[in-house]
A and B are shown apart, each in its own frame.
Chain A
Amino acid sequence: MDITLPILILAIPIAMFLILGIGGVVMPRKVAGILGILGMGTCAVLAYTVAFTYFFSGAPEFISELGQRLQYQVFDVTWLAFTQSLVVKIGFLLDPISAMMLVVITTISFFVHLYSWGYMEHEPGFQRYYAFLNLFSFSMLGLVVATNIFQMYIFWELVGVSSYLLIGFFYKLPSAVSASKKAFIVTRFADLGFLIGILVLSYYTDTFNFQALTSNPELVMAECGGATFLGASVMTWAMVLIFMGGMGKSAMMPLHIWLPDAMEGPTPVSALIHAATMVVAGVYLVARMFPCYCQVPASMDFVGVVGAITAFYAAVVACCQVDIKRVLAFSTISQIAFMMVSLAVARDYVPVGEHWHAPGLGYMASMFHLFTHAMFKALLFLGAGCLIHAVHSNNYTAMGGLRKYMPITHWTFLIGCLAIAGIPPFSGFFSKDEMLAAMYQNSFFWGAWMSMVAGLTAFYMFRLYYLIFWWEENPHYEHHKPHDAPWQMSLPLIILALVSCVAGFIPFGEFVTYNGEPYHIHLEASVAITSVIIAVAAIALATWLYMKKNDRPAKMRAALPTLWEAAHRRFYWDEIYQFITHKIIFGIICQSIAWFDRHVIDATMDGFAKVTQKASFSIRGMQNGHIQAYVAWYFFGAIALAAFVWWCIL
């Protein structure tokens, strides 16, 4: 394959970042906006071309004669060669998931660029905002096409930085600043584990390259040679630590605390970064390293358990939030955890049941859900952006009865809700059905647990929907009549809603499976029917509770005040962190370390500095300006050198 297009896909966003970042100062808003949109549009077209070529051209480098899709490194150049083995390469890997991610990222990014033109119109720093968006797109694209884990790590950090910059975009708001710091610190802490994991893994396997790691995972295992650390094998440690990086980015418990706060950023940013692309990086990482994870069942169990707990926790918390973006944030956490569980249950290679079940059905389903979720969650966030734009508040208490005022937003938001709730024929139904099927195959427990989460999802999404669009009309509308957003904002909503209607019919298994062999998706009737019944029941409950203004929700809340308060406060995770960091770490541990630092380390350093200064002062006589002295030093220096060697030999 020609390398022009892949290089351009990466080059356009970074070039745009530089142009808008440096030239933005002198650039009118309109020019910056149009440049950004056109740049990302071009990038999207190129990404589509590349993905299309990969999936449909049938070229021998992309697909084998037996119809198996292959991994293909378009290029892989050495960037830093420190030693023979420690070589950092930068490349472009095309395989089913990276091609799919190219499409997802550029699509959402393009719509967000377009949408932001309307949403951010009056904000100061408009040009800077577009520059950051491009930086993020570049980093995310670089992340998904990484040929080796080190490149992925570099872009992983770049993504973190651009997320930090965008969350803190309104840097005059203290809450935005602290949210951006929180996001950066928490994910950075997680990345520490990721880095250690990478180092451990590459130390034993002598390679960073994904193809080398995943094409023959048994060999990788063998190279670790059964080394153990604290009772677990080195490989387990490595995989769990690498997953820790994924937990940070994908907001898995207990590292989820940054994502709800990250909603302080501009809403389109939440749609792009904290719903569709960056937060699924953890899922993508596990999928990328899937064969390695399969080799270490313990690490896969870990992924599954973390995912299952997070999914349930986030779904419960989402039922009790007031801020509509936070509801969506917790919903995102829950859905991503869903994908994690789906990946975790896919490890069993043994076919179950009477049908031929592809091993790794969960893998395909997880990627499918990643795709559909990106579309409908971006739709929901952008819809939320329109609402916030209209009523100037994030809370549903300022909304209610908006369906008459904002019909486009209403209908598209409804489609998004139906998709995430898993109602056919919307896209979420198909992907969720495959995931649940994979879980039931693994064990009834997983299936039942995750069905419960799916039910909760339908409930809280429709609670949100009814509270925004039905319930009762907010009296404030008389002063300030809400209306639909301008076309730049409505158009992405409509297109994404259309995509959410039809995306479920994509024969996804033909394109993305764990080993590249096509898999024919067929609906598991029993699972499908059960999950639709659960979803409909949950929606019915939400309708009964929230469609018209009534006192039933208040009664429920009064009946279980502790539980409601706990869920509303997100089960006190922030307070726990606050206690651990401030009281225990800062208060007790750091105080003593600080004393040691001031009195021992600093004093030693001061001592060194003094000695250095003194030494510097004492040798000044050497440089006295007399050429005779210089020559003498020279000559005796040479003699001394000879004598030194002579003495050494003797």
Chain B
Amino acid sequence: MDYSQFGTMLPELIVLGIFLVVFFMDTFGGEGVKKILTPCTAILFLLATVAIWLAPSASEGIFGGMYVNDTACKAMKCILNIGVFLVLLQSFKWADSEEMSVRKGEYYELLFATLFGMYLMISARHFLLFIIGLESASLPIAAMIAFDKYRYESHEAGIKYILTAVFSSAVLMMGLSFVYAFSMGSLYFSDLALAVAQGEMSGLLAIALAFVMAGIGFKLSLVPFHLWTADVYQGAPTPVTSYLSVISKGSAAFAFFIIFTQCFGQVYSDAWEWMLYALIILTITVGNLFALRQKNMKRFMAFSSVSQAGYIMLGVIAANALGLASLMFYIIVYVVSNLGAFAVIQTIEDNTGKLNMDDYNGLHKTNPWLSVAMTLAMFSLAGIPPFAGFFSKILIFTSVCSTNSMALYMLVLIALINTVISLYYYLCVVKAMWISNEEPIIGEFKSTCVAKIGLGLCIIGIVFFGLVSPIYEWLVNSVELSMWQPLALLGL
């Protein structure tokens, strides 16, 4: 065996390295080492991100084509890393708190284990490797969700997550077994693509498609596979919720795009375009309708993220290079906007323990900067120009429109109408903070320096990602440079 092939897996190895460093520091380090564990992890991870970004990408697959780390995959990993870094900054105060003192090492270990799994999900070109990635990305998350072990909701959320995850894995496996049958005994994406191209559309393939879609749709919380979302988001510790809402979702979206264009590209217009079409409409609409009535901020963000997942899927349904680029751009913007919102929620929860939207009434009188940050995040999520969310929405809509299909125009129209609904509930938060005349419930407090840095980075992202074009161009380039061309496979 040629061990030099491992050189291509540099991102995974780096994450594994950090995992080991944290593990050893946590297990064998003394009190002093444990004290600096939190900042050390953040700094190490920042360096790792830079290293991954600088590391060369390889257009050729390794291990017989099971694993690919080309420019597009690298870009996806970098996007995830940005999000993870922001989450790390957010969890500073929580991780350094009294009750976490003995367990914070575990938190980081679990987190990096899931990140490792997500990397594999993105890079896998073989369903076996993909399943390994998926499972190592979802099982540790259940432990993270139940991390507040003395809090009842945290338990409940953990159980709910693990049960649903197991069930969804089972469904996915079943789908894959059909896939295995369909491709005459191979789990390589490329073999499957060939088999799909030569074979005919059959009930077997339809069920396989539906089950695979449901399996990945679970992680993305697409309706009707989303029901765990609200309970879990509410119960989990806030840093874990933000991790779940952006990183886990982002990696699943990338994997979704890769699998469906790579393997099933040939039956795009026959089958899965319409399945996804239905799912997107359901997801955006139902997510919005539920979000309208939420009063708990974390539940509210849960349903907002459900409806955002629908918008993310628009990039998949475009199924071309532009679609992938705009999907990636959407996620990077979603990362900063959503994490900005969560950072505010987290800071307020850390300092006052308040989580209801009504508690935010008149927030601008006591905490103007937090209110500004929250407002920007809400504007960006709702897609109000000139913030990044507007540009990511318009780019993803243009990518869908670039397919020139009447049905997809209609889809964009439905998405646009839903944007109006979403505007209502996003602005409810803004209204509570700025317009409500009631006396503020949350008193004045000073947030920590790290929280300020994290929030500041999010705001910079929200304001500048849309206005600074090189980011989008970088994504377009990395998509175009990568060797697997969804366009060629689709024959579009």
Contact = CB atoms under 8 A, between A and B. Distances in A.
B is bound to A: yes
Interface stretch (A52-60, A128-136, A641-649): A641-649
Contacts of A229: none
Contacts of A80: 391, 469
A634 B167 contact: yes
Interface in B116-158: none
Given A613-B292, A627-B163, A634-B218, A645 B210 contact: yes
Contact of A82 (B171, B270, B398): B398
A637 B283 CA distance: 12
Nearest to A79: B469
A616 B210 contact: no
B164 A78 contact: no
A623 interface: yes
B293 A642 contact: no
A615 B289 contact: yes
Contacts of A622: 224, 227, 286
A613 B476 CA distance: 40
A630 B164 CA distance: 8
Nearest to B160: A627
Interface residues of A, number: 35
A635 B227 CA distance: 12
A82 B394 contact: yes
Nearest to B213: A641
Contacts, number: 106
B402 A83 contact: yes
A350 interface: no
B231 A641 contact: no
Given A635-B171, A637-B225, A644-B274, A612 B164 contact: no
B228 interface: yes
Nearest to B231: A625
A612 B292 CA distance: 9
A634 B473 contact: no
A628 to B, nearest CB: 9
Interface string A602-642: 00000000001101110110110101011101111111011
B274 A648 contact: yes
Interface in B160-215: 160, 163-164, 167-168, 171, 201, 203, 206-207, 209-211, 213-214
B357 interface: no
A25 to B, nearest CB: 14
A631 B163 contact: yes
A631 B164 contact: yes
A620 B290 CA distance: 7
Main secondary structure of the interface of B (DSSP, over half): helix
B279 interface: yes
B274 A646 contact: no
A629 B227 contact: yes
B275 interface: yes
Nearest to B322: A83
Contacts of B163: 627, 631
B278 A646 contact: no
Contacts of A81: 469, 472-473, 476
A37 B211 CA distance: 68
B206 A642 contact: yes
Interface string A38-67: 000000000000000000000000000000
A219 B159 CA distance: 70
Given A81-B469, A649-B201, A630 B214 contact: no
A637 B224 contact: yes
Interface string B435-448: 00000000000000
A644 B279 CA distance: 11
Contacts of A627: 159-160, 163-164, 228
A214 B274 CA distance: 48
B224 A644 contact: no
Nearest to A612: B421
A631 B214 CA distance: 12
A649 B209 CA distance: 14
B230 A623 contact: yes
A47 B171 CA distance: 68
Interface in B395-425: 395, 398, 402, 421
Contact of B473 (A78, A615, A642): A78
B271 interface: yes
Nearest to B223: A637
Q: Is the interface of A mostly helix, strand, loop or mixed?
A: helix
A613 B291 CA distance: 11
B473 A630 contact: no
Nearest to A622: B227
A649 B206 contact: yes
A616 to B, nearest CB: 4
Interface centre among A619, A620, A634, A636 (most CB of B within 10 A): A634
A649 B164 CA distance: 30
B207 A642 contact: yes
Contacts of B293: 616-617, 620
B286 A619 contact: yes
A649 B270 contact: yes
B235 to A, nearest CB: 11
A619 B274 CA distance: 24
Interface in A77-135: 77-83
Contact of A616 (B218, B289, B476): B289
B171 A623 contact: no
A634 B171 contact: yes
Could you say which of A613, A622, A630, A638 has the most chain B C-beta atoms within 10 Å of its C-beta?
A638
A642 B469 contact: no
A646 B267 CA distance: 13
Contacts of A646: 203, 206
Nearest to A639: B210
Contacts of B167: 631, 634-635
B43 to A, nearest CB: 30
A644 to B, nearest CB: 6
A642 B174 CA distance: 13
Contacts of A633: 224-225, 227
B231 A634 contact: no
A618 to B, nearest CB: 9
B171 A645 contact: no
A644 B278 contact: yes
Contact of B278 (A620, A638, A641): A641
A79 B421 CA distance: 30
Given A79-B469, A634-B164, A645 B227 contact: no
A637 B206 contact: no
A623 B469 contact: no
Contacts of A644: 274-275, 278
Nearest to B211: A638
Nearest to A641: B210
Contacts of B279: 641
Contacts of B391: 80
A648 B274 CA distance: 9
Given A81-B472, A627-B164, A630-B160, A637 B214 contact: yes
A638 B225 CA distance: 8
A649 B200 CA distance: 11
A619 B230 CA distance: 14
B275 A641 contact: yes
Nearest to B466: A80
Contacts of B230: 623
B402 A630 contact: no
Contact of B227 (A83, A616, A623): A623
Contacts of B472: 81
20 contacts: A77-B469, A80-B391, A82-B395, A612-B289, A616-B289, A616-B292, A619-B289, A627-B163, A627-B164, A630-B160, A634-B171, A634-B214, A641-B278, A644-B278, A645-B210, A645-B271, A645-B272, A645-B274, A646-B206, A649-B270
Given A637-B214, A638-B225, A644-B278, 15 more contacts: A78-B469, A78-B473, A81-B473, A82-B395, A612-B421, A616-B289, A616-B290, A627-B228, A633-B227, A634-B168, A634-B225, A641-B210, A642-B203, A645-B209, A646-B203
Closest 10 CB pairs of A and B: A642-B210, A637-B224, A638-B214, A630-B227, A641-B210, A616-B289, A642-B207, A645-B206, A616-B292, A633-B224
